[in-house]
A = this chain, B = another copy of it.
Amino acid sequence: MFPSHRLRDFSLLAAADVEALRTLGGPPVALPRHSIIRSEGATDRSAYLLVDGWVSSSMLLAGGERQILKLHLPGDMLGSTGMCLDHAIDTLAALTPVIVRKVPLAALGQLMAKSPRMAMFMLLSAQKERVALMDRVASNSRTSPTARMAFLLLDLHQRLSAIGQADHDSFEIAITQEQLGDIVGLTSVHVNRVLREMEREDLIQRHRRRVWIVDFDHFRTVARIPRRDMSVDPSWRILDTPDEDAQRQGPASSTASTAA
């Protein structure tokens, strides 16, 4: 059930590791939109593999404001920050109908103990998430609403492309403008005005939930933040062993969307 097109992210892993990850979790569970997969503050020590659908990781602030910290797409692992927290920091909510597999953190820990390569994979995934969050901080704190939206749309397009859910120049946005606002830190009213303005300036086109990006190079300059190319540095291959190498899946990709 784990999307095969996501396996490219796992090029550091041996086939056995990938299979272990697949079978690690519980059975795939389907949940309707608006389901709360896990609430912030929860003490349940487990993560989740997102098999299908979109999930938000969000915090509810003391004043009642909601901030979406990460939009999770199929293939992502949810809730792995729980390994350093007694109480979950974020709420995992289904923004669309979803399918998830529950993964006890203890099981993940045992897997990492058995497979150093898996531990390294988890470390790199966490580092990639850090990078994504750093970009988000910069975008939300220091750029115009238009730039924030552009950055978000480009990020979504890149990540959806990686899992075969985007066209060359367009993709479907499965969430509302209010939720877009909860990501970039704007009200839904202002998100709407920004999107319309982008349309008027011919930066994007829209129809129903689908968005077309007219000129990627130009749109990237609007976003202010460059695309990140994740590395698969050979020096990190030190954990390889010959027989495990033989099992490796496909070639290493130079770019990969995040999966921790």
Residue positions of A touching B, CB distance < 8 A: 45, 57, 59, 61-63, 65-67, 69, 80-81, 83-87, 89-90, 105-106, 109-110, 112-113, 116, 119-120, 122-124, 126-131, 133-138, 140-143, 147, 184-185, 221, 224-226, 228-231, 233, 235-236, 238-239
Contacts and interface: CB of A to CB of B under 8 A. Distances in A.
Task: Give chain A's interface secondary structure class.
Answer: helix
What is the copy number of this chain in the assembly?
2
Nearest to A256: B84
A225 B69 CA distance: 14
Counting chain B CB atoms within 10 Å of each CB, the highest count among A86, A112, A123, A143 belongs to A123
A155 to B, nearest CB: 14
Given A83-B127, A124-B83, A128-B84, A138 B69 contact: yes
Rank and list the top 7 A-B pairs by shortest CB-CB distance, nearest first. A141-B185, A133-B133, A126-B126, A67-B138, A86-B231, A84-B127, A140-B141
Given A67-B138, A113-B238, 14 more contacts: A61-B224, A61-B225, A62-B225, A62-B226, A81-B130, A81-B134, A85-B229, A89-B134, A89-B135, A89-B228, A106-B238, A126-B130, A129-B130, A130-B130
A141 B141 CA distance: 6
Contacts of A119: 112, 116, 119-120, 123
Contacts of A85: 131, 228-231
A235 B45 CA distance: 10
